Structure 1
Amino acid sequence: MSLEESLEQLKRQYLHALPDKKKQIITLWVSLRKNWQSYMLSAVYREVHNLKGSSETFGLTETKDIVDKLELQLKNLLDAPAPTLNLIKGLDTLFHQLLQNNQHYLPAAPVVEAQMQQNPYNPSKARHEYCIAIIEDDNNVGAMITKQLHEFGFNVQHFLNFTDFIKVQYASPFDLILLDLILPDYTEDALFEAACEFEKNNTRVFVLSSRSDFDMRLLAIRANVSEYFVKPAETTLLVRKIHQWLKMSDKPPLKVLLVDDQQSMVDYFSSLLRSHGLMVRGMTKPEQVIPTLEQFEPDLFIFDLYMPGVNGLELARMIRQLDKYTSSPILVLSSDDTMQNKVSIIQAGSDDLISKQTAPSLFVTQVISRAQRGHDIRSSASRDSLTGLLNHTQILVAARHCINLAKRANSSVCIAMLDLDHFKQVNDTYGHSGGDKVLLAFAHLLQQSLRAADFMGRYGGEEFMLVIPDMPAPLVIAKVNAIRESFSNIVFVEEGAEFKVTLSGGLAFSTECHEFQECLLLADKNLYEAKRTGRNRIINTLVK
């Protein structure tokens, strides 16, 4: 179902429910007329205001015109004494017009289930599912590149000629091709022509060539290839480019927390945002917000301004008192976008007020731009600038949070402390550029090897922390040892010199600790033991 069809279906559902909604408002008005009380007047005003917002959103101009007049008169009565008989008769007439305005109702539509309940965001493939082809007629060169990429966890297949590659490509297309330009069965022109077609069909092509002259690079540019590497291609740079072009950074969808006391508004705006790839958690009860934040960390908040019990400004102030969200963007929805309201929401710590009658495309644009800013703010504050992994503070927060959840759920979490062996010697011998290259390669290896549910961070210098929840201890130990072995086989090149680096690690499981700090100390103790007993090993105390 397209977005337009989904929104139209929501509109039909709203129109079908609208007569009952109007009758409820009329019933409240009749009760108020019999017993004029301020709290009842506030309830009528709130329902009329909500009706104004939803009629604006769904483009019901006739209904909105009537509701505009009702809202204005009711608003003037909020802080005034009991109304005159003439004023009540005038309101009676408007409520009667509202009730009679039924000529455009459509029959009931089936409930939209998938569109409302599911997030259409489709994450990228799992890292090991990306397939890379190396077409290189020198068997030694091709085998070396294949082995190095395998150490990073890539699914790689080596071909000695283009003909054999084509047969496999047609049956099961690769995601990325490393293409040597000197092959026995195809000319350079034919290879460039093929590369151009692959790129048009979203298969990335990296050229591997012994030539670095201007003419050859120009041919590659005209064939629209993604990258050009001069042999011998440096593995760490190659891996970084593969991550970039295949978008393997596991960039999550932007997350929005939406609160509106009208379910129809929650459904409408959630559907609109989800159709553009955002992850939306919508709710009608403001008191659900704080408990939700433990599991759902939004990049942006959207609050309805007028809600019973707790309004949008109060909710915004509450969010601003949480250290984690002091800079997170907050948008307020209202059908009343007067300058006075805009000033009020800014004073409450919100970023802007958006009218409920804002065009869908403009609404989405505003939300995405601000949500991206919120994501960037959170990311810059939580990520290590070199490796892109969680920084010291945030990996500790993640570890503590996972252990607390595991204790409540009676499950297990592993804390792994990993340290690169003799890293000072790497910096002394190959300079900080060589050291940074090693750190980046290790970060890529971790991202390639671990699950989306796992956490990885740079604890400090050459020390890293992994948080691995809900995995049996033997599998965790095997996984971390596999990372250690793969890293020890990576060949680094700095100014023509080749070298390798190993790592040591200590593991601790939440099931053998009473609290987080004890788990952290045990992992550190085991890391120290791994260093003391010879390095390039993983020590744990749970499984011998």
Structure 2
Amino acid sequence: MPVSPSIEVQKKLEILRNRFRDKTIGELESLVNGVFSASQRSEALGELVVAYQLLHRLAGSAGTLGFSQLGEQARKLELAIKPMADQIVEGADSEQVQQQLKQLLDGDFKDGIVNLGAFLDVADPVSTEWHKPAKVELGNRFVLLVVDPDKRHRDMVAQGLALYGYEVRSLSSGEQWPASVNDIDLVMVRDTLLQDESASWLSRLHKLPTICFSGDHDFETRYRLARLNVDACIDEPRDIPALADRVEQLLAEGLATLTGRVMIVDDDRELLEHYRVVLTSGGMQVRAFDDPSRLLSELADFRPDILLMDVQMGRFDGPVLARMLRFQAEWLSLPIIFFSSEADRDLQLDVLARGGDDFVTKPVSDEFLLRTARIRCYRARQLDKLVSLDSLTGLLKHALAKTELNREHARCARSGHSSVVAMLDLDHFKQVNDSYGHGVGDMVIKALSNLLRHRLRNTDIIGRYGGEEFLVVLPECSLEKAVEVLETLNKDFARLVFNARNEEFSVTFSAGVATLNAYETGEHAIDAADRALYERKRAGRNGVTVAREDYFDS
């Protein structure tokens, strides 16, 4: 019988907990010996600073690793010797510090450090309640459920959204709701089915993005639907491109809050690995390392959404590292979140003033860590979108799309694989704007952008090149396969029906394609695809034309 993902996570956390326990037993023995040596010999006073640093680290890490009582006791002992440790660092009189330490050992402090190891036998239960494994998606295929008494509407929605690559299932009423919703990503429901608020199946809507088909616009109706956790209202499902656009937005928001790229730097290896296991198990992409000197090279390679960093890591000071990162313009907007067991709010604010964006006090619960990382990554990507993505389509802006194309061109040169570049342009688009207005024109542009995003691979590069023109790069793809994919998209886009001014109409697009690595530069490849596009336009539009190899021979 296969082991559940949550049990696997629990086993990993237990292994880390045992590693931490074994390591800490030895460290606590050294701590006790060091404190007693410091009280007896002035030349051993440095051992008191080492003891303070260990207690400070345990106060922050022990609770996260499941030894909350150990962490609380370490915090009390840390605060007791902090004044003496500070005096030693500042070069105070050794005899005076020794006298203070002896007085401290005459009280409860001695028993406190001697018996500290006993708290390693008192561990919190390993909990993975926060761990809710996401289902494995096959490519970009999402499963949608439409619940509507009108079979004609259900069939229309299913057929229309299938063109965007969605799998659509349908029910005539909520009472037929499936036993499990684990594989359903979004629900579309008719408002008449929501009138009985006591229906048991309505609780399922709390867990899923929900679109309601409702023609009622009055305040009370809309407020009631919002109270039922409906996320969006659409008058009728007939306008499939508009519906697909709203589905796309809701699914993108849901995915964005569950994923992200997190970099962690911490010199406590067990704690670092604990963070990595929790975040990775929660669906995040994680790069974790304990050597701060690798920070610049790791950032350039991984390019995270956020950076989590301890305040003090041996000889490296976290805020100094943050200030160093801000030397480079590309890291000015990188959110840096400091972790520390430091509870002094003034010191926390000082750390933030030196280059950080947030401060989290250790110990950190697994659920809090995961939620913090998800929220911060989501906000970071939202801000990044304002800079890099076209506001209408959500695709890469012109300049960034060209940058990504040139990177792929260089990658082709290094690895020797073949990639394809395509230029797409909507046919007779001016007539759409003139006949129905620019708002409808924008809807057509968004419909094509959504179709491209859903039907192409995650690794493909899609950008809005300008107006109604798009740039697409298909890495590691043959010219024949690229033509096949684009011709299928061309046919499916032409089948979409738009509604405006009580009229229905369709739009087509033309495309020109070229092999990216067949040209000396990315610019030459774009130019070749662009010439092929206009050759397609002259040949009657609505199709795909391959660039001639002699475009740059003349």
TM-score between both structures, scaled by the size of structure 1: 0.76
1:159-202 deviation line (CA, Å, top 9, x unaligned): 9xx59x99997899976677789xxxxxx88x977996654444
Per-residue CA deviations over 1:67-118 (Å, capped at 9, x if unaligned) read 4444442332223178349729948968997466322333999xx9xx9xx9
Do 2:45 and 2:94's aligned partners in 1 also have CA atoms closer than 8 Å?
no
Structural mapping, 1:86-235, within 5 Å: 87=98, 90=101, 98=113, 101-106=116-121, 120=133, 122=135, 126-131=139-144, 146-156=158-168, 199-202=202-205, 233-235=238-240
* 1:540 aligned residue: 546
Distance 1:240 1:75 in 2: 60
Q: Tell me by how many angstroms 1:427 deviates.
A: 1.2
AA paired with 1:152?
Answer: Y
Does structure 1 residue 238 correspond to structure 2 residue 282? no
State whether residues 414 and 510 of structure 1, in contact with CA within 8 Å, keep that contact through their aligned partners in structure 2: yes
**1:54 corresponds to which residue?**
61
Which one of the candidate residues 261, 268, 272 is aligned to 1:266?
272
Query: Which of 503, 510, 524 is the aligned partner of 1:497?
Result: 503
Q: CA offsets, 1:442-475, max 9 Å, x none?
A: 1221122122232322222111122332344433
- Once the two structures are superposed, the pairs formed by residues 435-450 of structure 1 within 5 Å of their partners are 435-450=441-456
Give the alignment of 1:319-330 within 5 angstroms: 319-330=325-336
Aligned identity (percent) is: 24
Distance 1:40 1:84 in 2: 15
Which residue of structure 2 aligns with residue 484 of structure 1? Answer: 490
Contact 1:121 1:278 in 2 (8 A): no
Which moves more between the two structures, 82-91 or 297-306?
A: 82-91
Deviation at 1:122, TM superposition (A): 4.8
**Change in 2 beyond 3 A, CA 1:524/1:82:** farther
Q: Which residue of 2 aligns with 1:348?
A: 354
Distance 1:414 1:222, change over 3 A: closer
Counterpart in 1 of 2:518? 512
Distance 1:249 1:423, change over 3 A: farther
Q: 2:87 aligned to 65, 76, 85, which one?
A: 76
- Residue 317 of structure 1, CA deviation: 1.8
Counterpart Cα distance in 2 of 1:120 and 1:254: 15
Distance 1:222 1:286 in 2: 47
Q: Could you tell me which amino acid in structure 1 is paired with residue 379 of structure 2?
A: R
Deviation of 1:304 (Å)? 0.8
Q: Aligned pair in 2 of structure 1 residues 523, 40: CA closer, same or farther (>3 Å)? A: farther
Aligned partners of 1:50 and 1:508: how far apart in 2?
A: 58
Tell me the residue number matched to 2:3. Answer: none
- Contact conserved, 2:424 with 2:533, CA < 8 A, in 1? yes
Partners of 1:179 and 1:353 in 2: CA distance: 42
Match of 1:66 in 2: 77
- C-alpha separation in 2, matches of 1:88 and 1:44: 17
User: In 2, are the aligned partners of 1:119 and 1:274 still within 8 Å (CA)?
Assistant: no
CA distance in 1, matches of 2:188, 2:210: 6
**C-alpha distance in 1, partners of 2:133/2:56?**
32
Give the conservation status (yes or no) of the 8 Å contact 1:382–1:391: yes
Q: Which residue of structure 2 aligns with residue 523 of structure 1?
A: 529
C-alpha spacing 1:441/1:277, structure 2 compared with 1 (3 Å): same
The question of whether the paired residues in 2 share the 8 Å contact of 1:512 and 1:542 is answered with no
What displacement does 1:486 show?
Answer: 1.3
| 3-state SS, counterpart of residue 104 of structure 1 | helix
CA distance in 2, matches of 1:284, 1:542: 53
Provide the secondary structure at the position in 1 that maps to 2:120. Answer: coil
Root mean square deviation of aligned Cα: 5.0
Is the partner of 1:128 in helix, strand or coil?
A: coil
Residues 408, 475 of structure 2: 8 Å contact kept: yes
Kept in 1, the 8 Å contact 2:490–2:543? The answer is yes
Cα distance between partner residues in 2 of 1:395 and 1:64: 52
- Displacement of 1:345: 2.2
Contact 1:135 / 1:177 at 8 angstroms: preserved in 2? Answer: no
CA contact (8 A) 1:303 1:332 kept: yes
Aligned length: 527
- Residues in 2 aligned to 1:268 and 1:340: alpha-carbon distance in whole angstroms: 29
